[in-house]
Structure 1
Amino acid sequence: MPSNEQRRAAAKRKLERQLARRAEQEKKRKRLTIAGSVLGVIVVVAAATGVYFLTTGEDSSSDTAESSSAVPTTQFVNTPLDIPGPPPPAAKPATVDCSYPVGQEPPAKPVTAPTTTSVATDGPQVKVAIDSTQGPIGLSLNSAQAPCTVNSMVSLIKQGYFDKTSCHRIVATPGFGILQCGDPAATGMGGPGYTFDNEYPTDLFPAGDPALQQPVNYKRGLVAMANAGISPDGKGTNGSQFFLVFGDTQLPPNYTIFGTIDEAGLATLDKVAGGGVKGGAEDGGPAIPISFTTVKVG
């Protein structure tokens, strides 16, 4: 029979493991958060000088080949997580009313909020074709589970908001594989000048539900929105930044899932993931640069 000292030591080890897991979960959650306090500084400076921090993405084929071949690559291997994904989406009304309040800061690239706010949820999935400097990426956007998100994305695409922009961030580690895009400023802090609320899977949980802090599996092949958490007035902070999941990723269900990536797109993402992060870091700009030349609906 273990002594009291042995039982205390075992309890201490168990507590240390729990604290380590929680710290790692919080670290991963923060990776997907946009630094909203810095956003105002960056955008105000850009507006004052008349210069937006745009990456044109006008790489020639020779430039693309050179940037890829100059980076040592390894094959990224997806590590399936042993935690479940979010619950299935709930059925929505035939139409939903969406709100896109304009914020205090101007957009990172000239664009307007969606003019359509009454959105149907029973239409076909929206197909999106991304022509990137590292290969094609096809998306299928799901209006049934995230109508307001898809409505915003389609509006931004049709206005050319994502054309000639770079993906500014990659994380390619076991249990976390995402490429973050959608910021024309390529700083990780740019947005469209308006925000909107979370949808699936956040809408499955009441506000304050402890389940919103528990990790779920954002599986390889999903597309989800990046955000800056919930604002002090209880509103969502989604804008234009999104992440493409190329490896099963552990996150709390606070990031709206609004579509999936096709096989050609996953092959493109695997190519970029193989280069890892600039400088060999865990989180940062992709060592193999990737820009969107054009993004089109249909």
Structure 2
Amino acid sequence: MMSRQEGNEKISPTARYVAHIRTYTDIPYAKEIAEESQAERDFQALAGESAESVIQLTPIWEARYKATNRIIAQRRITQVLELAAGLSPRGLALTENPGVVYVATDLPQILAQIKTLAGVILAKLPSQRPNLYFRVVNALERDELLQAASPFQSGRPIAVITEGLLSYLTRAEKETLAANIHALLKEYGGIWITPDVSSKQSWQRIAQDDENCVQQRIRNISGATGSDIENNTFVDEDDMRQFFSKAGFAIEEYPHTSVIDELTSIASLNLNRERVLKLLRVTKTLILTA
């Protein structure tokens, strides 16, 4: 029987899937990471015939990335832990500021790849990044999660980020993750930032323009990762709120419409701004406090 860790390693192609989508934006280091990892190949394999339609949804991915960064900046948080970081360029970008400590975590296979990619990119730059850390972590194991935070100073708040993780977890696994993050925030203080709050209800609203594209994307990613994404997602807004409240978090919403003026993919893909605005009204990021 395949272990849960082996199953989660199958998610790694989706990291390259998202890495390719980021190339249609101005997110720092996104193009370098996508090129070095040959991300387009995995994107085409996962997206299949719906590739063009999926690319039209790029503003959703760009908005959640930029909303997260804006929240960190607004809260003046300088200690950041990203769970299941995949091929996120966030660590390279944030640690340009020597006052920021960033820890990328993931399972061994994908973490080794982003660590190697970061090394290749940094070798071409004049500055090194002693404030950039990589830690192998299964976020469902509390001891591993707490150990990953060891580079942080106590008494200073942290931001824990999950961007794209919760969709791959069962309800029970979500509960375990939430309890682990709650324990971490109780120790350090700070916030949990996540845009992973999509529901069957929100998918239906996004799919109004192209239901086949959304359904095909769900089938392709579920097949590639072995995760039942459709069943893993929240039922609706009430279900999502009840989940985080029961886990002991206060909930603050950060609307993605607030970053629309920062989304360069609208121009690069020649998208209709009003249609993008309609999509962004469906999505959001949560700021969760223990």
- Superposition TM-score, scaled by structure 1 size: 0.25
Higher strand proportion (structure 1 or 2): 1
Q: Would you tell me which structure has more helix in proportion to its own residues?
A: 2
Higher relative contact order (CA 8 A, sep 6+): 1
TM-score normalised according to structure 2 size: 0.25
